[in-house]
Amino acid sequence: MYWIAEFYRSSPGKKYFMAVSGIVLSIYVFIHTMGNLMVYLGPGTINAYAGAVHLVPGLVPAVEFVIAVAAGLHVITAVQLALTNRGARPVSYAFHRYQEAGLAGRTIIWSGAGIAAFAAYHLLHLSFGRVHPDFVPGDVYHNVLTAFNVFPVAILYITAVVLLGLHLYHGLWSMFQTLGWSHPLYDSWRRAFGTGAAVLITAANVSIPVAVLLRLI
Ligand code: HEM
């Protein structure tokens, strides 16, 4: 255990923890997105799926525990790395010349903060129903449709999911770099994978509030 704490204390160690926790969160988001798409199959299918997931003994608490640990590690390491970077350069550059980073890279800390705020709201909204005025426990289809019938809520979800897409686009790319899985020969595959996954997750999740607003479901 001691070497893990030592490794975590170093900057490359923190980046490694960020990458691994990022993989765990990305896998969860991918599976969750596939589950969300069941809304297109009607109330019977998505409610049966959610019900079945809750029936597997220990599954939901185990998944919640893993996501909570991964999200906690991801956020704490991000803040620590940002503070270290700032400390290393107390006077900021007079001119910023961003060559490699691009928009998603330059704003990664802000998209991350936005996603964290959204996740807290989302749990209170669609998971616990505390801020959902018409929440019916167990009726996921009803909860999602009545949620997105409220225009500002639909816009909030669309904005959050676009932020998530930007975050994944850059995050997946730099994750490969951190884990040492980068080579000029495979860089185009790496870029294609990061872009493909980000576009798929964004488009799939944005489509749901849009479909509700357009009365397609
Ligand atoms: C249009 C997009 C989304 C929809 C319709 C949606 C829908 C839902 C619903 C209905 C639940 C409650 C499930 C249940 O109680 O059985 C839920 C839970 C959850 N969602 Fe989402 N979600 C969306 C996007 C996201 C995004 C982008 C994230 C990640 C940043 C996310 C993370 C979570 C988490 C962590 C839970 C709690 C899981 C648990 O307690 O076991 N969701 N979502």
Question: How sure is the predictor about 88, in pLDDT bands with cuts at 50, 70 and 90?
Answer: low
Provide the residue count of the chain.
217
Select from 30, 36, 27 the least CA-distant residue to 201: 30
Separation of alpha carbons 179 and 205, rounded Å: 28
For residue 127, the CA-to-ligand 1 centroid distance in Å is: 7
For 73, the token pair is 């590690």
Separation of alpha carbons 132 and 27, rounded Å: 27
For residue 46, the CA-to-ligand 1 centroid distance in Å is: 13
For residue 125, the CA-to-ligand 1 centroid distance in Å is: 9
* 184-201: average pLDDT: 91
Select from 144, 137, 133, 131 the least CA-distant residue to 54: 137
**Look-up of token digits 């850059």:** 170
Q: Does the pLDDT at position 154 exceed 50?
A: yes
Structural domains of the chain in order of their starting residue, each with its CATH number: 2-88+101-213 (1.20.1300.10)
- Decide whether any atom of ligand 1 lies within 6 Å of the 32 Cβ: yes
Mean confidence (pLDDT) of the chain:
91
pLDDT at 200: 97
SS (H, E, C) the chain: CHHHHHHHHCHHHHHHHHHHHHHHHHHHHHHHHHHHHHHHHCHHHHHHHHHHHHHCCCHHHHHHHHHHHHHHHHHHHHHHHHHHHHHHCCCCCCCCCCCCCHHHHHCHHHHHHHHHHHHHHHHHHHHCCCCCCCCCCCCHHHHHHHHHCCHHHHHHHHHHHHHHHHHHHHHHHHHHHHCCCCCCCCHHHHHHHHHHHHHHHHHHHHHHHHHHHCCCC
Q: Does the pLDDT at position 134 exceed 80?
A: yes
Q: Does the pLDDT at position 45 exceed 60?
A: yes
Instruction: Quote the radius of gyration of the chain (alpha carbons, Å).
Output: 19
Nearest CA to ligand 1 atom 32: 119
For residue 205, the CA-to-ligand 1 centroid distance in Å is: 10
Q: Which amino acid is at 192?
A: A
pLDDT at 32: 98
For 211, the token pair is 């479909």
For residue 177, the CA-to-ligand 1 centroid distance in Å is: 29
Separation of alpha carbons 115 and 118, rounded Å: 5
pLDDT at 171: 92
Which among 24, 32, 132 is the best mutation to test ligand 1's pocket, defined by most ligand atoms within 8 Å of the CB?
Answer: 32
pLDDT tens figures, 101-122: 677 778 899 999 999 999 999 9
Q: Which amino acid is at 196?
A: G
The sign of the torsion formed by the CA atoms of 73, 116, 60, 172 equals negative
Q: Which amino acid is at 94?
A: A
Q: Does the pLDDT at position 90 exceed 60?
A: no
Q: Does the pLDDT at position 95 exceed 50?
A: no
- Indicate the Cα dihedral angle 165, 110, 4, 29, nearest 10°: -30
- Decide whether any atom of ligand 1 lies within 6 Å of the 122 Cβ: yes
For residue 100, the CA-to-ligand 1 centroid distance in Å is: 33
Nearest CA to ligand 1 atom 27: 161
- Decide whether any atom of ligand 1 lies within 6 Å of the 67 Cβ: yes
Most confident of 75-79, 90-94, 101-105, 156-160: 156-160
Q: Does the pLDDT at position 78 exceed 70?
A: yes
* 13-38: average pLDDT: 96
